[in-house]
């Protein structure tokens, strides 16, 4: 594929991301959660134990950054910690019900913004967007699998 087309696609995706983030942030009424906390929260579950090491290995974020973010999330009541009964050096992290409530609110606000943005789209437009997005995800996943085989 020629560089010009790739550059155009990159610019369009970046622009789309900026435009949607502005719309979403305006809807959030100043309750925006910055990227690292969101990324880390997405790694946690309310039932399945996760450790700081699990997060670091999966995301490649330094322990110091993760610890700082976890402290803030703990203060906000979005996560809870439990010591491992078999190894007191390990701490398990879990999402709280408050985190699930916040997630539901955020999803609801995102749905409202998307409905507003897409309200003038035809069924054909929506199908094109859905198919294009699915294709892009498929290409990324295929590339990720190929990268795994190289390791």
Tell me: the pLDDT tens digits for 78-129? 999 999 999 988 999 999 999 999 889 888 988 999 999 999 999 999 999 9
Residue 87 lies in a domain: yes
CA dist., res. 139 & res. 147, Å (int): 12
- pLDDT of residue 151 exceeding 60, the answer is no
Q: What is the mean pLDDT of residues 4-16?
A: 95
Q: Is residue 12 part of a domain?
A: no
Whole-number Å distance between alpha carbons of 73 and 116 = 31
CB burial of residue 44 (10 Å; 0-12, 13-18, 19+): buried
**Does the structure show a pLDDT above 70 at 148?**
no
- Give the residue numbers spanning the domain of 100: 17-120
Q: From the centroid of its chain, how far is CA 136?
A: 17
Label residues 118-140 b or e (16+ Cβ within 10 Å = b). Answer: eeeeeeeeeeeeeeeeeeeeeee
Residue 108 located in a structural domain: yes
CA angle 87, 75, 92 (to 5 degrees): 20
Q: Is residue 11 part of a domain?
A: no
pLDDT at 95: 95
Residue 137 located in a structural domain: no
The CA-CA-CA angle for residues 85, 91, 96, to 5°, reads 105
Q: Does position 13 have pLDDT exceeding 60, yes or no?
A: yes
The answer as to whether 70 is a domain residue is yes
Question: What is the per-residue DSSP string for 21-66?
Answer: HHHHHHHTTT-PPPHHHHHHHTT--SSS-B-HHHHHHHH---HHHH
**pLDDT for 33:** 67
Considering the domain boundaries, does residue 5 fall inside one? no
Query: For residue 75, what pLDDT band results from cuts at 50, 70 and 90?
Result: very high
Taking the C-alpha atoms of residue 62 and residue 56, their distance in angstroms, rounded to an integer, is: 6
Mean residue pLDDT across the chain: 90
Domain count, the chain: 1
Residue 29 is assigned to a structural domain of this protein: yes
Q: What CATH number has the domain bearing residue 88?
A: 1.10.10.10
């Amino acid at each position: 594929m020629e560089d010009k087309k790739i550059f155009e696609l990159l610019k369009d995706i970046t622009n789309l991301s900026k435009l949607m983030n502005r719309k979403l942030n305006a809807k959030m009424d100043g309750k925006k959660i910055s990227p690292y906390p969101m990324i880390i929260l997405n790694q946690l579950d309310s039932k399945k134990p996760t450790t700081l090491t699990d997060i670091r290995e999966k995301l490649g974020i330094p322990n110091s950054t993760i610890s700082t973010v976890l402290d803030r999330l703990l203060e906000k009541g979005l996560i809870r910690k439990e010591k491992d009964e078999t190894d007191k050096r390990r701490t398990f992290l879990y999402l709280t019900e408050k985190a699930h409530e916040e997630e539901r609110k955020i999803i609801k606000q995102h749905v409202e913004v998307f409905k507003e943005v897409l309200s003038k789209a035809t069924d054909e437009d929506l199908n094109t967007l859905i198919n294009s997005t699915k294709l892009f995800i498929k290409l990324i996943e295929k590339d990720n699998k190929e990268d795994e085989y190289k390791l």
